[in-house]
Chains A and B, each alone.
Chain A
Amino acid sequence: MTYNNKVLRVNLSTKQISTEELNQKYVQDYIGGRGLGTRMLLDEIDPKINPLSEENKLLFVTGPATGVKISTGTRYMVITKSPLNNFVTSSNSGGIWGSMLKYAGYDIAIVEGKSETPVYIEITETEVKLHDATNLWGKVSTEVEELLKEKHENASVLNIGPGGENLSNMAAIMNDGDRAAGRSGVGAVMGSKNLKAIVCSTTQKTMAVKDEKFKEYAIETAKKIKANPISGEGLPTYGTAVLVNILNSIAGLPTKNWNLSEFDRAEDISGEELAEKHLKKRSFCHNCTIGCGRVVEVDGKIVGGPEYETIWGFGASSDVSNLEFINKANYLCNEMGLDTISTSSTIAAAMELYDKGIITDEMCNGTPLKFGNNEAITQWVENIGRGNCELAKILAKGSYEACEHFGVPEYSMTAKKLEMPAYDARAIQGIGLNYATSNRGGCHVRGYTIASEVLAPPEAIVDRTTVEGKAELVKVYQDLTAAIDSLGMCLFTSFALGADDYAGILSFLFERNVTAEEVLTIGERIYSLERYFNQLTGMEENGDTLPKRVLTEKITHKASEGMVSRLPEMLPEYYEVRGWEKGFPTKETLTRLGII
């Protein structure tokens, strides 16, 4: 087993620190990361609690591959109840922090209670301590990291920025510079506990795999990833930003807060442009052999560069075509500890409200939220992070609450209050079904059907415009993703690896035969568990839907002309293949999957 069999529990109210053993049945049934964490959280909290109350808990959960010498074996998941939508959420990140937690001797860190004053946690192989963090409160993410690295040797730092301190529903948890557990407000939960950072300070090592043949297997896996043209060449060369031109060419690039689906200046914000004029070098997470990370220069500093979704949100969706400003907005999001997708989308929604005269110049603190205003995307990231004016505080709640505040929730392009990313759900039917049924809300990385509907080679491409077969397609993607998210590896490996490969890896890590079928069943179990959790939080029946704009306003661009999301046609079949009724797993499904 590549687990330490040790769970760390830190109670910030009582200052009590304790350890316990991993529940091995849960490990076998849910693997680790997202699955294991969600199952444990269900035991840990009453699903109906207020997410920002002392009763909520933060679970930092590694997977069996985290810290193992296998490509991308480093990821951890944050599992908690989301303040954005009250549902269970899990948000995942790379870097090295997850591996360092494991190297320090822990598989999971559970943080509960609430400190009266700001604190940070120091984890080493020999002790776990709470330290005063009053002097760190208010500081931006990289400054916190630098200060803590000066104080603690061999440290990896996870922290929140001002966004988390100010309880923004868009607050991320940052680690190792620009890596982020970004979505659904996990940083606000950390802020609500007055927890500024967790430092893992230990020597780097490797989680040993018992079977010696694993070393060869891991090399072969890395070769497979390298041989795949996407993970071996496309992602390393262009990062994810190369998608800008692709999505634009099919009129699937939501523009001006989804009023349009094509951006006339897409070339100016493309991955090709980023690579040619802005890219300084690429970056790798610990154990990664892909290296999709971009490194750019902002105001003379070498910093992390934007992902495709970030470029889209601050670019096409905000009608901005200046990559320098987009790079800076991305950097400021990381400094403020804000999710780039939600923050950029909320700014784009605010721009639409400005356009319609709902947000006025008087509210804008000197920087008009006008579509195409370069300064607006950078200044408003800071405003939102700092909560430095009335409108900034409203926008910090995310686009749904902000638009609802102004009486126009229909301008929030969200599913379950989470901002949908850069793939138009009208132009690509499967991804719309995925957004609507995603347990944490509008998210592409819960079921990335784009790989089949847009990026597949000619012989394998699935027609993006039809609804036939999309229920099954979405389910398979969602289930496999849930398993990968639980393993501790990066989803990008799935361009090259399939369920058989993950089963092979898991067989080594679990020291027993694991089949591809079992991997997919575990994924299905996790997906229905999350939905069951949401039901227990009080989620309403038939709550899987999309914004009115996506369901009724037709695309006018030639490539996808006349298209709207045909979600109502796909949803019944989706529920049928999942064994759900009115949006919830039936008792038979919960029993079949061993959830109850």
Chain B
Amino acid sequence: MDYILKVKLFAYLRDGRGKEVEVTFKEGMTILDLINELNIPENRARLLIVNGHHKQFDYIIKHDDEISIFPPVGGG
């Protein structure tokens, strides 16, 4: 069975992609694989949040993960 990952994007990562994109889940795929598929340069993907927790680029995605990707932004 194919799973579809719903990936939420924020700030300027939405430009040309929208707020949420759907990607077909592949066993063993990492976040780096995911952002490559979305044509997001590595240095534009700063906060890799999976199920509410920060992850690394080599994190192996599970089919039911909730993924949010933010570019470098900040405030205070």
**What residues of chain A have their CB less than 8 Å away from a CB belonging to chain B?**
228-231, 233-235, 237-243, 245-246, 249-251, 267, 271-272, 292, 307-308, 444-445, 448, 450-451, 454-455, 457-459, 461, 463-465, 491-492, 495, 557-560
Contact = CB atoms under 8 A, between A and B. Distances in A.
A558 B68 CA distance: 14
Interface in B26-74: 43, 46-49, 51-57, 68, 70-74
B16 interface: no
Contacts of A233: 12, 72
Contacts of A307: 75
B72 A457 contact: yes
A559 B52 contact: yes
25 contacts: A229-B43, A234-B11, A234-B71, A234-B73, A234-B75, A235-B74, A237-B11, A242-B75, A245-B70, A246-B10, A246-B73, A249-B52, A249-B70, A251-B52, A267-B19, A272-B10, A272-B11, A308-B75, A444-B76, A451-B74, A455-B74, A458-B46, A458-B55, A492-B76, A495-B74
Given A251-B52, A272-B14, A560-B52, A230 B47 contact: no
A313 to B, nearest CB: 14
B61 to A, nearest CB: 15
By Cβ-Cβ distance, the 5 closest A-B pairs, closest first, are A559-B52, A240-B75, A229-B72, A234-B73, A230-B74
Residue of B54, B57, B75 most packed against chain A (CB within 10 A):
B75
Nearest to B55: A458
Contacts of A455: 46-47, 73-74
Given A272-B10, A455-B47, A243 B74 contact: yes
A229 B47 CA distance: 13
B75 to A, nearest CB: 3
A250 B46 CA distance: 15
Contacts of A458: 46, 48, 54-57
Nearest to B75: A240
B52 A250 contact: yes
B52 A558 contact: yes
A491 B72 contact: no
A123 to B, nearest CB: 31
A76 to B, nearest CB: 19
A228 B55 CA distance: 22
B66 to A, nearest CB: 8
A119 B37 CA distance: 65
Contacts of A251: 52
Contact of A242 (B11, B53, B55): B11
Contacts of B71: 229, 234
Given A234-B11, A242-B11, A491 B49 contact: no
Contacts of A445: 76
Nearest to B48: A458
Given A251-B52, A272-B11, A558-B52, A230 B72 contact: yes
Contacts of B43: 229
A271 B11 contact: yes
A457 B55 CA distance: 10
